[in-house]
Amino acid sequence: MSVLAPARVPQRFLPVIATFVVFAVTFGAGSVRYEGFASGQVVANLFIDNAYLIVLAVGMTFVILTGGIDLSVGSVVALSSMIAASGLQAGWPAWLAVLAALASGTVLGLLMGLVIHHFQVQPFIVTLAGMFLARGLCFLISVESVSIKDPSFRAAATGTFELPGEVTVTYTVVIALLVVAIGAYVLHLTRFGRTVYAVGGNEASARLMGLASGRAKVGVYAISGFCSALGGLLFSLYMLSGYGLHGVGMELDVIAAVVIGGTLLSGGVGYVAGSLAGVLVLGTVQTLISFDGTLTSWWTKIVIGVLLLAFIALQRLMVHRRPAR
């Protein structure tokens, strides 16, 4: 009689599992130390306060899965908020301001993807140029903060609905989770998603298999641009303003969340769910510091730096242990 060996967890799932474990441990530590930390509203606030970051992380996941990077997301957030705020101030209908903001981010992402693919320029350089371009366009629109006074935008910003247990959630959370669900569907259940993974694993092999690798490389930057613009709209709802200095350094927070969520910087391995967990880890660290009350916000950066180094080390260990093909 043979004894069945315990099923081993596939290696590609280990970073994602590690992220969820870190989230559970961090949140558990807060629950033990601080009264009221484990309430349903605190969990809901993690999503409310980071809805825009969740959307940005979905777009960044697509890009990093191909082995690329997008440094323009923070600037596109600012540009999107400025276009929406200034358009509303000029008397545009809300739908037109939203459409213009989404189109600006998508077109900029598409242009960066085309340059990266057709001119074979490193994504770091192209998206760095895109970052400066988007930030400069913000200050062409206005050098001052533009307040959003449109009634429909303010209603969307303050609108809430209740979940069981008297937990209040904003509509931005619904949008963020819908983006996560769509991103997961596209990556795992469509030909485009499988091509994205193939390009990140080995682009030359993907081309030999007849996959549209070029279309996928361009497409992920268009998706990232769209998500950045949408994240900018959610951020403008959060702040009720557009400003050229919104989102400064936000691209680094997004990259950190995606890497902590288990997506390999070399491409080919990663999950949208892991990026969501990465954002929740960052949000939990910030919440712990807020509950403590004696620590400065710089401790958030310190903890994020430590977690980022730990997960990069885990990634390198996985790469070295991966069997040769």
Q: What is the pLDDT of residues 58-114, one digit of tens each?
A: 999 999 999 999 999 999 999 999 999 999 999 999 999 999 999 999 999 999 999
Locate the domains of the chain by residue range.
39-247
Residue 324 has pLDDT above 60, yes or no: no
CB 80 within 8 A of CB 232: yes
Tokens 């009264």, located at residue: 35
pTM over 0.85: yes
Handedness of CA 83, 149, 152, 72 (dihedral sign): positive
List of residues 6+ apart from 145 with CB closer than 8 A: 241, 242, 243
162 has which bridge partners? 168
Average pLDDT rounded to a whole number, residues 140-145: 95
**Given phi > 0 = left and psi -120 to 50 = alpha, else beta, which region is 25?**
alpha
Q: For 295-310, write each residue's pLDDT tens digit.
A: 777 777 888 888 888 8
The helix/strand/coil state of 278 is helix
End-to-end CA distance of the chain: 34
